[in-house]
Structure 1
Amino acid sequence: MTATPAHTALWPAPHARGAVDATVHVPGSKSVTNRALVLASLASEPGWLRRPLRSRDTLLMAGALRALGVGIEETVSSSSSPAGAGTPTGPGEAWRVIPSTLHGPATVDVGNAGTVMRFLPPVATLADGPVRFDGDPRAYERPLHGVIDALRTLGARIDDEGRGALPLTVHGGGGLDGGPVEIDASSSSQFVSALLLSAPRFNQGVEVRHTGSSLPSMPHIRMTVDMLRAVGAQVDTPESGGEPNVWRVTPGALLGRDLTIEPDLSNAQPFLAAALVTAGTVVIPDWPERTTQPGDRLREIFTEMGGSCELAERGLEFTGSGAVHGIDVDLGEVGELTPGIAAVAALADSPSTLRGVAHLRLHETDRLAALTKEINELGGDVTETADGLHIRPRRLHGGIFHTYDDHRMATAGAILGLAVDGVQIENVATTAKTLPDFPELWAGMLGN
């Protein structure tokens, strides 16, 4: 008998038998890990990343940087490591990143990782030789024109046969002039972050001016800026008194760091949602007091939807009240949270309107269309709007919940399965993109 392919296998989403009571250790942030890998690779000295996320997206980023000549050594640090000995202290996995002269020819597999397909073409302009970028079929459909056009303006040579998308080849010349550039990043804030991350290595740095409509996912740009400043870069931003929609990075050397990666707060969402919909309690250890991660907004959103939370010494403690309320919320800055919020909203006691997320039509899949179709096929009442979703709670029934190779669709289906018996998730393995071992973590939370 042949095994069922992972992409067609059906996973019976566990149905909650009562209130959840669990502590869940969420792996490190994908967004922080991949930004840290890029910055460490461009530094003037080696650095360490502690507790990095090991997932498909981060391993693709590490593999791509290795292909360009960067040394990335994986080790397991122990609490017995002597302080000041040049190795990180404390238990857990660590990656030592050893910068090197970047070179081609090289081939980069971006998978379907937005951070890899957008952050690395600017890095490739610094390599000596051609670097070809390719990826999953869905990656060909995701917008990349903002990065391609901007790099050409800054002096790069890129072959994309006019597609403005993958596959493409960056002909690295060992450096890039840099300077001022105008881009429309309304389809992805990653266009801005991509240029800022490599800008300290450009001869003139960079001045990025966003010329389009509203800019989504601003917390991710703030994350990029904070991480650049932490390694010694000089960055002027609208928040620091600069012009609106303009970011400037001065050329200069970057420092190697010993950085501990925060837990991925967006990946904590399904576990917090479990507490909300089962009237239970979930603790997420190491939740940071201050962070630029968009997932921190969950504290506010899920509290408004019926829960309560406390940030204590042992982490974030979130408790459901037994009631789940609808919400009218603009998610423009935190669009990645939309699938999980939509799932909770489908189980609420009143309608919800999720706004400001038209750009989700260009993510791993068209998330607005996918959520509408899948929730409605379980008996829901979801309609798409111009920039989001309107959700009217209905009594749901079991059925197959398709994921479209989208990790956040899979976790949204798992949330629904807690309250709806008979939900089967197609291709739950896609969660490995950012949340390895999700089925095991989910079963552990439920005591299964």
Structure 2
Amino acid sequence: MTSQPVQTDHLAADTPLWAAPSTARAVDATVEVPGSKSLTNRLLVLAALADGPGVLRGALRSRDADLMIAALRALGIEITEGDEPSTLHVRPGRLHGDVSIDCGLAGTVMRFVPPIAALADGAVHLDGDEGARVRPMGPVLDALRGLEVGIDDDGRGLLPFTVAGTGHVTGGSVDVDASGSSQFVSGLLLAGARFDDGLTLRHVGDTLPSRPHIDMTVETLRAAGVAVTVSDDEWRVEPGPITARDVRVEPDLSNAAPFLAAALVVGGTVRIPGWPTSSTQPGAQLPEILTRMGATASLEGGVLTVTGTGTVHGIDADLHAVGELAPNIAALAALADSPSHLRGISHLRGHETDRLAALENEINGLGGRCTQTEDGLVVEPAALHGGTFRTYHDHRMATSAAILGLRVPGVEVENVATTAKTLPDFPQMWVDMLGSR
């Protein structure tokens, strides 16, 4: 494969690089992971469309979440902080148009907000970062057109575009090709109960990546009193009220991945409190994946404990349903004692950057042997060396670099601040984990 990652909004020449810490000492740490971005933004949408005021506790406060908050406020929703920033009080109201919304680089904002904007009483213009303007939006926009919502995107299927809100959406049946992102399904389902006739949505593409995220959407809808039926690749959301709730957000299990990976790379133990006994988050599969790569894992009293020996084994894994874990798994694979084949993740070419090309470029830039396949990566053992690791403004590239740096001295990470997308204090959390003995 010859695709290249997208490097947008280049940093100033004097932007400092972050020296990823290396250590030969085993880790022994307990890491408090903040709330799930995926759940925070889904619950914010449902609270904004609910039948009364609600509260989110333990919500993630990061760039993506704050972009969603700003978008909903622009549409007329009152959102205020409680005693701490992670407690959000949401008071629904009439959705207003004649506004502009900044999506940043947040997939959940650019894919979840347009169906809500269609319920506003006027035009809603959406735009985002330069990198966001190459992320596919066509399936959502075509679906809204199929529901008789006016869309002005000059036929590009990309940001920027304008949604012609009229105060209501009739709803009905629509086909969507969600092969590029499960968010195309989730965004429409979240607003479906507010459509006059509800929504029947059928996926018509060849593949459906990250299905756990759609399961998460269905679960949050049902918990809010919305009737949802699922049959293979078809979903039916009945029209009706969305119940206002006081709800606590689960920790972001995928954001635990780099910290848990550290136990495999340098040996020792990392504990994550608040780990649920069951979850629709893709990160819930981490214990099984890491065990296959050489760890031991146990869950007791809501604390996940992962212990490693410093030896990482290669893995042959289909990550189709959990693609957001792939960058961190690829970093582990680059440190493994045997080859790895990561499959089913071709859709990662349409994320914040082309993640497959980015991983190939940056791992190989450190002396690795990483090769793209049609639907994934093959990573073979190699002696790595230090160097600059570019992130392409992608938070999971930055955390992958941190994993590599544990064993490879001299890894310098460009724009580690991009981790603020989901982990606002990642560099300090990383240092604290390594300093907790």
Alignment of 1:179-258 (within 5 A): 179-238=172-231, 244-258=232-246
Partner of 2:309: 321
Count of aligned residue pairs for this structure pair: 426
Alignment of 1:54-73 (within 5 A): 54-73=61-80
Partner of 1:333: 321
Contact 1:118–1:194 (8 Å) recurs in 2: yes
CA distance in 2: counterparts of 1:66 and 1:10, whole angstroms = 35
1:379 to 360, 367, 380: 367
Alignment of 1:260-275 (within 5 A): 260-275=248-263
CA distance in 1: counterparts of 2:13 and 2:420, whole angstroms = 12
**CA-CA distance at 1:6 after TM superposition:** 9.4
**CA-CA distance at 1:393 after TM superposition:** 1.1
Contact 1:403–1:425 (8 Å) recurs in 2: yes
Contact 2:250–2:274 (8 Å) recurs in 1: yes
Secondary structure of 1:219's aligned partner: helix
Contact 1:7–1:427 (8 Å) recurs in 2: no
Secondary structure of 2:396's aligned partner: helix
Partner of 1:13: 20
Secondary structure of 1:443's aligned partner: helix
CA distance in 2: counterparts of 1:321 and 1:312, whole angstroms = 21
CA distance in 2: counterparts of 1:392 and 1:133, whole angstroms = 42
CA distance in 2: counterparts of 1:274 and 1:393, whole angstroms = 18
Contact 1:285–1:314 (8 Å) recurs in 2: yes
**CA-CA distance at 1:314 after TM superposition:** 5.1
Partner of 2:113: 120
Which blocks of at least 5 consecutive residues in structure 2 are unaligned?
Answer: 1-10
Superposed CA offset, 1:136-164 (max 9, x none): 01111001000000001011001001111
Distance of aligned partners of 1:278 and 1:111 in 2 relative to their CA distance in 1, 3 Å threshold: same
Alignment of 1:99-138 (within 5 A): 99-138=92-131
1:294 to 260, 282, 290: 282
**CA-CA distance at 1:76 after TM superposition:** 1.4
Secondary structure of 1:322's aligned partner: coil
Superposed CA offset, 1:366-396 (max 9, x none): 0000000100010000110000000001010
CA distance in 1: counterparts of 2:428 and 2:24, whole angstroms = 17
CA distance in 2: counterparts of 1:302 and 1:314, whole angstroms = 18
Contact 2:81–2:88 (8 Å) recurs in 1: yes
Superposed CA offset, 1:37-95 (max 9, x none): 00000001110000100000000000000000000010116xxxxxxxxxxxxxx8310
CA distance in 1: counterparts of 2:65 and 2:195, whole angstroms = 24
Partner of 2:3: none
**CA-CA distance at 1:5 after TM superposition:** 4.7
CA distance in 1: counterparts of 2:158 and 2:13, whole angstroms = 28
CA distance in 2: counterparts of 1:45 and 1:6, whole angstroms = 49
CA distance in 2: counterparts of 1:312 and 1:142, whole angstroms = 40
CA distance in 2: counterparts of 1:364 and 1:6, whole angstroms = 22
Alignment of 1:87-166 (within 5 A): 93-166=86-159
TM-score by length of 1: 0.94
CA distance in 1: counterparts of 2:381 and 2:335, whole angstroms = 6
TM-score by length of 2: 0.96
CA distance in 1: counterparts of 2:16 and 2:284, whole angstroms = 33
Which blocks of at least 5 consecutive residues in structure 1 are unaligned?
Answer: 78-91, 239-243
Alignment of 1:420-435 (within 5 A): 420-435=408-423
**CA-CA distance at 1:321 after TM superposition:** 2.8
Partner of 2:5: none
Partner of 1:33: 40
Secondary structure of 2:141's aligned partner: helix
CA distance in 1: counterparts of 2:13 and 2:265, whole angstroms = 29
Secondary structure of 1:408's aligned partner: helix
Letter matched to residue 391 of structure 2: T
Contact 2:24–2:407 (8 Å) recurs in 1: no
Partner of 1:46: 53
**CA-CA distance at 1:7 after TM superposition:** 8.9
CA distance in 2: counterparts of 1:41 and 1:322, whole angstroms = 46
CA distance in 2: counterparts of 1:259 and 1:110, whole angstroms = 25
Partner of 1:410: 398
CA distance in 1: counterparts of 2:363 and 2:26, whole angstroms = 23
CA distance in 2: counterparts of 1:336 and 1:380, whole angstroms = 21
Superposed CA offset, 1:384-425 (max 9, x none): 000000000101000000000000000000000000001000
Q: What do you get for the CA RMSD once the two structures are aligned?
A: 1.2
Contact 1:7–1:426 (8 Å) recurs in 2: no
Identity of aligned residues (%): 61
